[in-house]
Copies of this chain bind each other. A is one copy, B any other.
């Protein structure tokens, strides 16, 4: 009955295949019978729960409340904001029948909820005293994608979407940026994924936004992943949905709105940033299992070792998420590979010799280092090592990004680096240059990063003098 531990395609030889191998073999997801849909197995859903916990706590601390709006949106509502429907119409799944009857109007399965929420807010908001409205929703959304990849782009995905209304543009913008900062904190401090914050160019904006702010991360193949976005919607949606309030001065005014979202895509970022040829490497803070104990010993010794390992498990369970792998149908070697593939940050090995010496061996998943630790210090050592692994993964990811970030003065320089990595360069601001670049090289403007220093003050495409600094990359 022993399952065969198949090799994972090496990351360097075929990154896409490596990704697919890793997510299947590490038990994160499975493919559903319908194209484009995935099943989040417990191992990945637990990671999502940790992300949710961190995000949700911060949303609540900043005054937001959760609510729940309908899954289905009538077609006329979805179409009410012109740019919005134009951006989403090709991706919508439609419910046309309910309980054996043809519906009088098609209902969209929400691709995002600005429209249905806008329609409700218009009814809820009357006075400046009703503002700000700070609501978040944890929900599933559907986007009918032609080409899909688990976590990164699937027809259905789980996310949170915040939707707020404010009295002034300044307040709405401050909210937009505050939420971006919450995302940054969770993504960098918990997922150990370094990100670059900035504003999207017009061509890359959310459909209906005045400005879209984004966090861009660099994956292990040198491509960028948009990791979370926060949109300043101005008065576009409040005008489309008539979200008005009577201000203190007695005037009827349109509200200023924001929306912001992050999704299970973040799990894809974790895999693609930290994974290696042995499989996943999970940051301890979001690892469902932080420490696995593997007892080593055969025959008569085995029983004593497993009993002792069980004691270690009890000793460790107050300080970390620990699992004892006492399966007798697998060898220690198989288990080592198995848990390495699943990205468990620390492995505790315990055998008869260790028992005699009252020590254990701890193996780090991030560096492959093995450390002998006296048993009585195991709790302290594990706590310290988990902290170190967390930091080391971030450090490695930041170093990789550093090594793959290039300042360029013309776009031909991208080719020298195989179009892999982040390219910092200047951009004249015209969508023509952006479109030309994309069709020539597949590179897109990821964002105009905050606080960038100039490169050459000349557009990397047309050479025109400019003060815009952009970050370019091929993106997921």
Contacts and interface: CB of A to CB of B under 8 A. Distances in A.
Interface in A61-79: 65-72, 74, 77
B71 A142 contact: yes
A120 interface: yes
A286 B93 CA distance: 37
A71 B140 contact: yes
A248 to B, nearest CB: 10
Contacts of A145: 99
Given A34-B74, A45-B65, A67-B39, A99 B95 contact: no
B65 A39 contact: no
The 7 A-B residue pairs with the shortest CB-CB distance, nearest first, are: A99-B144, A42-B65, A40-B68, A98-B144, A94-B97, A37-B70, A93-B98
Interface residues of A, number: 61
A364 to B, nearest CB: 26
Interface string A88-115: 0111111111111000001101000000
A114 to B, nearest CB: 14
Given A93-B99, A96-B94, A107-B34, A72 B42 contact: no
A450 interface: no
Contacts of A91: 99
A135 B329 contact: no
Interface of A: 1, 30, 32-34, 37-42, 45-46, 48-49, 65-72, 74, 77, 89-100, 106-107, 109, 116, 119-120, 123-124, 126-127, 129, 135, 139-140, 142, 144-146, 155-156, 158, 246, 327, 329
A45 to B, nearest CB: 5
Given A30-B124, A33-B119, A66 B39 contact: no
Tell me the dominant secondary structure on chain A's binding face.
mixed
B116 A32 contact: yes
Contacts of A107: 34, 93
Contacts of A32: 69-70, 116, 120
Given A94-B96, A99-B145, 14 more contacts: A1-B126, A33-B77, A34-B70, A34-B72, A34-B107, A39-B69, A42-B65, A42-B66, A42-B67, A72-B156, A93-B99, A95-B95, A95-B96, A99-B146
A317 to B, nearest CB: 13
A331 to B, nearest CB: 15
A121 to B, nearest CB: 10
B156 A70 contact: yes
A156 B33 CA distance: 24
Contacts of A129: 1, 327, 329
A181 to B, nearest CB: 23
A126 B1 CA distance: 9
B46 A65 contact: yes
Given A41-B67, A42-B135, A46-B66, A96 B96 contact: yes
Among A91, A119, A142, chain B packs the most CB atoms within 10 A around the CB of A142
